Copies of this chain bind each other. A is one copy, B any other.
């Protein structure tokens, strides 16, 4: 593994407070691999053998039932995924595929669990990470149940804008069909939701979004840290 990658992982909140011997042991047991785009990394139902760390690229977490699919999250560098299944030693509830060519570190779940018992700083960080993951899922569920399609899109756009530092213009980071699935609607409905948002201060041109009237969008969306996964909501 490259020194730079090792440091990126080391700096994640999950690993930041580990003792060096424990971190080294964990990294030593890990595999660093590059996967092409559109590769299925994990299939829901399989037992969780590895904690995954995305170093480069992007990974989609999705789920399916019968012939229906839905996107649950997109994981971008540098971040871990499926910690809960690893800690429980249980089957994955979601599948994962690369969206782009991605560099991913695989840490054996058994070593993660061992580190939890050996290193208190890591145990603390694990609980913080799981708790925040839990809370973000509560927000996602609240969002799905309390807002309609147009409001969910508006809230997403508002949040993106805030995360980018409160800028008015930005580029969508993923395909619209993926965004639609994540927000719990069809691509057609997403298209129409974008059109409906023109009356609420949002201009769209291809992948480029411009918030022409932040006050109007904010009034529609009523952003709220209890609903929106927010780094930056005033």
> Which A positions have Cβ atoms within 8 angstroms of B?
44-45, 63-66, 68, 70, 72, 83-85, 87-88, 90-91, 93-94, 116-117, 120, 123-124, 126-128, 130-135, 137-142, 144-147, 184, 222, 224-227
Contact = CB atoms under 8 A, between A and B. Distances in A.
A88 B136 CA distance: 12
Nearest to A145: B70
Contacts of A140: 141
B88 A128 contact: yes
Given A134-B133, A134-B134, A87 B127 contact: yes
B130 A137 contact: no
Given A87-B127, A116-B127, A146-B65, A93 B222 contact: no
Nearest to A142: B63
Nearest to A147: B65
B87 A224 contact: no
A70 B4 CA distance: 46
The residue among A84, A128, A134, A222 with the most chain B CB atoms within 10 A of its own CB is A134
Contact of A84 (B66, B87, B134, B145): B134
A90 B230 CA distance: 14
Main secondary structure of the interface of A (DSSP, over half): helix
A142 B90 contact: no
A142 B78 CA distance: 25
Contacts of A226: 44-45, 63, 65, 91, 93
28 contacts: A44-B226, A63-B142, A63-B226, A64-B146, A65-B146, A65-B222, A65-B224, A68-B146, A70-B146, A72-B138, A84-B134, A84-B138, A85-B135, A88-B132, A88-B135, A91-B225, A91-B226, A93-B138, A120-B123, A123-B123, A123-B127, A126-B127, A127-B130, A137-B138, A141-B144, A144-B144, A144-B145, A144-B184
